[in-house]
Amino acid sequence: MRPRDRSDEAVDRSVVRSEKRFAGRVIGVRTDWVDLGDGHQVERDYVVHPGAVGVVAINGDLQVLMVHQYRHPIGALLWELPAGLLDVHGEAPADAIARELFEEGGYRASTWSVLLDAFTSPGGSDESVRIYLARDLTQVPADERHVGEDEERDMLIDWVPLVEARDAALAGRFHNSLAIMGILAAAAVLIDGVAVDRTADAPWFRAARRAPDAASS
């Protein structure tokens, strides 16, 4: 038996056929017919997603910057991290999250690292998210602030002690997945002393984009 390093690994499964079911402003839905080997073929529906980035921005008092944002699909105001979609063509993930921190939080950071990467729902979506840790923050001057639109027009921004945010996540008071993952990871690093050694441009294990073996639509 070969040794296992306990890391996720990409595998090649032949996509016999692929059909586009829906194409929206942000997401799409596809159906793939996949050959799992030995002639065993399965049909899988999944959401096609551009991916997203989020940031745990920490100040000198060990507080995390959070936003209170309305989310229509669940009809709730959620405490979240500054975050956004990777929907700007050609924009690097590290640049995208720096932009989101500026636009949603009104801050810039001079020290960045990667906290974690995750697939949010790999059984039904190819969405991949990367969460950064940002420190050494500088507030954007008032006359340079970004003006929010839509749900961000009156979005509350607040500093929450990291310990309090960790406890709120574990007590079930926070429900945004990026916020929970990022806060718990940041607490492990900044409170428990777990080492982080991934730079902001570290390799990112994301969904493969393979062309189907047969015609797709």
- Measure the CA–CA gap between 58 and 3, rounded to whole angstroms: 39
User: What percent of the chain shows pLDDT beyond 70?
Assistant: 90
Give residue-wise pLDDT tens across range 42-53: 999 999 999 999
The model's confidence at residue 11, banded by pLDDT at 50, 70 and 90, is: confident
Per-residue confidence (pLDDT) for residue 214, from 0 to 100: 41
Mean pLDDT confidence for 87-109:
95
Rounded to two decimals, what is the model's pTM? 0.90
Report the chain's mean pLDDT, rounded to a whole number: 90
Q: Which residue has the tokens 């777990």?
A: 194
Least confident interval from 13-17, 105-109, 128-132, 136-140? 13-17
Task: For residue 173, count CB atoms less than 10 angstroms from its CB and return exposed for 0-12, middle for 13-18, buried for 19 or more.
Answer: exposed
Give residue-wise pLDDT tens across range 47-70: 999 999 999 999 999 999 999 999
Give residue-wise pLDDT tens across range 113-171: 999 999 999 999 999 999 999 999 999 987 777 666 656 667 899 999 999 999 999 99
Q: How far is CA 56 from the centre of its chain?
A: 11
* Structural domains of the chain, ranges and CATH numbers in brackets: 14-48 (no CATH), 52-190 (3.90.79.10)
- Measure the CA–CA gap between 204 and 61, rounded to whole angstroms: 30
Q: Is the predicted pLDDT of residue 99 greater than 50, yes or no?
A: yes
Which sequence positions are flagged as catalytic?
152
Per-residue confidence (pLDDT) for residue 2, from 0 to 100: 65
- Cα torsion angle, 173, 175, 180, 182, sign: negative
